Structure 1
Amino acid sequence: MPKPVVAIFDVGKTNKKLFLIDENYKIVFERSARFVETLDEDGEPCENLESLRTSVYESLQQVLKMDEFEIKAINFSTYGASFVYLDENGTPLTPLYNYLKEYPETLKNEFYHRYGGEEKISLETASPILGSLNSGMQLYRLKREKPEIFDRVKWALHLPQYLSYLITGVALADITSIGCHTQLWDFNKNQYHNWVTAEGLDEKFGQFTPADSSSATQYEGADFKVGVGLHDSSAALIPYLANFSAPFILLSTGTWCISLNPFNQEPLTAAELKQDCLCYMHFKGKAVKASRIFAGYEHEIQLKRIADHFDRAAYLFKHLKFNPGMILKLANKIPENQSPQTEFKANSAFVDRDLTIFQTAEEAYHQLIFDLIKQQIYALKLILNNGVRRIFVDGGFGKNAIYMHLLATSIPDIEVYASSVSQATAIGTALAINDAWNSNPAPSDIIQLKYYSAIQRTL
Structure 2
Amino acid sequence: MHGGRYAGVLDIGKTDAKVAIVDLQAECEVDVLTSPNVVLPGPSYPHFDTAALWDFICNALRQLNASHPIDALCVTAHGASGVLLDACGDFAAPVMDYEFSGPDELASEYDDMRPDFAETGSPRLGMGLNIGAQLFWQFRSDPGLADRAAAFLTYPQYWVFRLTGVQANEVSSLGCHTDLWKPRQQRYSSLVGELGLSGKMAPVRRANDCLGTVTTEVAQRTGLSPRTAVFCGIHDSNASLLPHLLRREPPFSVISTGTWVIAFAIGGRRVELDPGRDTLMNVNALGDPVPSARFMGGREYEEVMASRAPGCEPGEAETVLAGNIMLFPAVETRSGPFQGRQACWSVDDSQLSDGERFAAVSYYLALVTAEMLTEIGAQGPTIVEGPFAQNDCFRVMLRAASGRQVEVQEAAATGTAIGAALLVRSESAGRGRTKRHSQKTPVLDPALDAYAQTWRQTVRRR
TM-score, length basis structure 2: 0.78
Find the partner of 2:240 among 232, 236, 243: 236
Q: 1:104 to 1:327 in 2, by over 3 A?
A: closer
Matched residue, 2:171 = 175
C-alpha distance in structure 2 between counterparts of 1:100 and 1:349, whole Å: 19
- Equivalent in the alignment of 1:449: 438
Distance 2:104 2:352 in 1: 47
Tell me how far apart the structure 2 counterparts of residues 229 and 72 of structure 1 sit (CA, whole Å).
16
Identify which of 121, 124, 128 aligns with 1:129: 124
Q: Corresponding residue for 1:23?
A: 24
Give the corresponding residue for 2:157. Answer: 161
Structure 1: segments with no counterpart, 5+ residues: 305-312, 337-342
Alignment match of 2:276 (pick from 253, 274, 277): 274
Counterpart secondary structure, 2:400: helix
1:88 equivalent in structure 2 = 87
- Label 1:186 to 1:63 Cα distance change in 2 as closer, same or farther (>3 A): same
Aligned partner of 1:193 in structure 2 is 189
**Residues 433 and 442 of structure 1, relative CA distance in 2, 3 Å threshold:** farther
Once the two structures are TM-superposed, the CA of residue 218 in structure 1 deviates from its matched residue by 5.7
What does residue range 412-431 of structure 1 map to in structure 2 within 5 Å?
A: 412=403, 414-422=404-412, 423-431=414-422
- Kept in 1, the 8 Å contact 2:81–2:155? The answer is yes
Partner letter of residue 275 of structure 1?
R
Shift of 1:418: 3.6
Count of residues in correspondence between the two structures: 426
Contiguous gaps of at least 5 residues in structure 2: 217-224, 329-335, 448-462
Question: Taking structure 1 as reference, are residues 252 and 169 closer, same or farther at Cα in structure 2, changes over 3 Å only?
Answer: closer
* 1:141 has 2:137 as partner: yes
Residue in structure 2 matching 1:405, options 387, 396, 409: 396
* Structure 1 counterpart of 2:401, one-letter code: S
1:4-24: CA deviations, max 9, x gaps?
Answer: 422221122343322232331
Contact 1:277/1:290, CA 8 A, preserved across alignment: yes
Give the conservation status (yes or no) of the 8 Å contact 2:349–2:357.
no
Moved more, 22-31 or 4-13: 22-31
Counterpart CA distance in 2 for 1:228 and 1:252 is 21
Give 1:164's aligned amino acid.
V
Residues 176 and 281 in structure 1, CA contact (< 8 A), matched pair in contact too: yes
Amino acid at match of 2:407: Y
TM alignment of 1:292-311, pairs within 5 A: 292-302=294-304
The one-letter code sitting in structure 2 at the alignment partner of 1:318 is G
Post-superposition CA distance 1:298-337 (Å, at most 9, x none): 4555556xxxxxxxx953x712327897688447x99x9x
The CA deviation at 1:32 is 3.4
Distance 2:160 2:358 in 1: 46
Q: In 2 relative to 1, CA 54–9 (structure 1 residues): closer, same or farther, beyond 3 Å?
A: same
Q: Identify the residue that residue 249 of structure 2 maps to in structure 1.
A: 245
1:236 is paired with a residue of what secondary structure?
Answer: helix
Alignment of 1:14-413 (within 5 A): 14-24=15-25, 25-34=27-36, 37-42=39-44, 44-60=45-61, 66=66, 70-105=69-104, 107-115=106-114, 121-130=116-125, 131-217=127-213, 219-220=215-216, 222-264=226-268, 268-269=272-273, 272-302=274-304, 314-315=308-309, 318-321=311-314, 329-330=322-323, 345-346=338-339, 351-355=344-348, 372-385=365-378, 388-412=379-403
**Equivalents in 2 of 1:344, 1:3: separation in Å?**
44
Query: Rg bigger for which structure?
Result: 1
Distance 1:319 1:90, change over 3 A: same
Q: Which deviates further from its counterpart, 124-133 or 363-372?
A: 363-372
Deviations 1:81-130 (A, max 9, x none): 22222111111122222111113445321222245xxxx62332222222
Among all aligned residue pairs of Structure 1 and Structure 2, give the percentage whose two residues are the same amino acid. 24
Question: What code does the residue aligned with 1:232 have?
Answer: D
Name the structure where helix makes up a greater proportion of residues: 1
CA distance in 2 between counterparts of 1:23 and 1:297 reads 31
Native 8 Å contact 1:322 1:401 kept in 2: no
Q: Which amino acid aligns with 1:99?
A: Y
TM-score (norm: length of structure 1): 0.78
Q: CA 1:446/1:53 → structure 2, altered by over 3 Å: closer, same or farther?
A: farther
Quick one: distance in 2 between partners of 1:238 and 1:38? 32
CA gap of 1:59–1:108, structure 2 versus 1, over 3 A, is same
Assess, with a 3 A threshold, how the Cα gap between structure 1 residues 410 and 91 changes in structure 2: closer, same or farther: closer
The corresponding residue for 1:307 is none
**Closer, same or farther in 2 for the Cα pair 1:111/1:295, shift >3 Å?**
closer
Higher mean C-alpha displacement, 29-38 vs 5-14: 29-38
CA deviation profile, 1:40-98 (whole Å, cap 9, x unmatched): 223x442222233344445555666x4x7554321111122222221111111222221
